[in-house]
Amino acid sequence: MKLLCAADLHLGRRPSRLHDQVTADGLLADALTPEAAWRALVDFALAERVQAVLLAGDLLDDENDFYGTFGDLQAGVERLIAGGVSVLAVSGNHDVTVLARLVKLVPDLRLLGEGGMWEVATVTHGDINVHVAGWSYPSSVVTHSPVPLVTEALSGLAPARVGGLLHCDRDQPTSHHAPVSSSELAAAPVDAWVLGHVHKPDFGAAPAHGGSARLSGYLGSISAADPGEEGPRGAWLLELTDDALTARHVPLAGLRYETLSVDVGELTSAADLETTVVTAVTGFVRALVDREPVGVVPLRAAAVRLRLVGRSGLRAELASRLRSHDPREVMVHVNGVHAFVHDVRLEALPAIDLAAVAKGRDPLALAARKLLLLDDASDPAHAALVDAARRELQATAAGKYYTALLGSGLPAIALSDDAVADRLRQAALTLIDAMAGS
């Protein structure tokens, strides 16, 4: 038996930080949207002759986008059903009510567990049966775990393997999106937990109740929406025999977000930066293409976060060069792939001994100590520095200047520990460049 599992389609969402030429060349609608990935999933399911497609929530991105997503969802489901493939789904926090309305017009899409009550459907192929237990959100905010009630829903059924279809927030006890724990998932009488909500995939083998191995984890988003969703995106193909249960990832998205680190320490002239960047991006994307699995959606666009690292005496010159020659303007074509840079970070360290300089008592030494501290997350002072900087940034964003200018504070920005540390790191490097070069 074959089951194709996917989550977080987010039909209606558009990927961010794309190069203008990608849109101009018509790639966006053709190959890079969630709708394109959904069409690819349907194609793959029919080609592989799977018995069922399981969808773990957030099929739609917006509760108010009924009209914009209806046609794509309907067409895909109808193709699957015509090919003998069952379609089972649960709702997530993004599509609580709209999915229930959609299935009234697409009745072949079976919504399991509507209203927050576990529901079981059985998929049969030859001598193999699989019970699929699904739970859907009764509202967009759910503060309790639904897992304890799955055992009761499965009681009295004929012996068979069990798949759990659930959109949830694992190991986040204060979450408003169905918080569950790894321990309760492991203790439940379920052979494979197919989870949605977190867009980074981690589906794989995990211990189960009684010590036997089973499959569990997040499937990840079917297509990438922003630079935070790096790596291949797609679905998971589960194959069941009488004595085995295996899974493999199936890339279905034509767009990849990736990070590329380029060492600029060997550059003898800042004028060589452009050729270094283009050569590095070309080689990096060519390697991605060479590693793509055969028989799935080909890579069509690669959005690269460029990190310029190493140790260089040209840091100030490189910073100036980046202002006049922005790598985000480049488009590189590699074996049919549109490759571009969406973000650039000059992270190369000055060509000085920071540890030695940090021993001094002047402002340069203070900046060097702060920079070294930012790279040592194990030091308690690191957290204190980041927390203090976060408070300052929040106060500045909500300050009188912006309130008077805009009528309110600045729009909210990501102030995670990593984001704050990165801002501090860039400020420290700029100060060190200025002081060391003076």
For the stretch 387-435, pLDDT in tens is: 998 888 888 877 777 776 666 666 666 688 888 888 888 888 888 877 8
Quick one: tokens of 160? Answer: 């068979």
- 106 in Cβ contact with 72 (< 8 Å): no
Q: Label residue 208 by pLDDT band (50, 70, 90).
A: low
Residue 61 shares a structural domain with residue 100 = yes
Give Cα separations from 161 to 164, 166, 183 (angstroms).
10, 16, 20
Kindly report the average pLDDT of the chain as a whole number: 89
Residues 6+ apart with CB under 8 A from 162: 130, 131, 132, 133, 154, 189, 190, 191, 192
Mean pLDDT on 166-185: 94
pLDDT of residue 219 exceeding 90: yes
The region of weakest confidence among 1-5, 94-98, 408-412 is 408-412
pTM of the complete model: 0.83
Contacts of 182 (CB under 8 A, 6+ apart): 170, 171, 206
**196 and 157 within one domain:** yes
Q: Could you tell me which residue, 375 or 47, shows the higher pLDDT?
A: 47
- Say whether both 220 and 301 belong to one domain: no
* 38 and 182 part of one domain: yes
Tokens for 347?
């992270």
Do 359 and 408 reside in the same domain of the chain? yes
Judge whether residue 273 has pLDDT over 60: yes
Domain co-membership, 419 together with 392 = yes
Q: Identify the domain containing residue 370 by its residue range.
A: 354-438
H-type helices in 83-118, by residue range?
98-105
DSSP-derived 3-state class of residue 271: helix
| Range from 70-74, 116-120, 336-340 carrying the lowest mean pLDDT | 70-74
Question: Which of 351, 381, 405 delimits the end of a domain?
Answer: 351
162 and 106 assigned to the same domain: yes
Last residue of a domain, one of 294, 318, 351: 351
CATH of residue 232:
3.60.21.10
Task: Let me know whether 362 and 324 are in one domain.
Answer: no
Total of domains in the chain: 3
**So what's the pLDDT on residue 352?**
76
**Domain end among 251, 285, 303:** 251
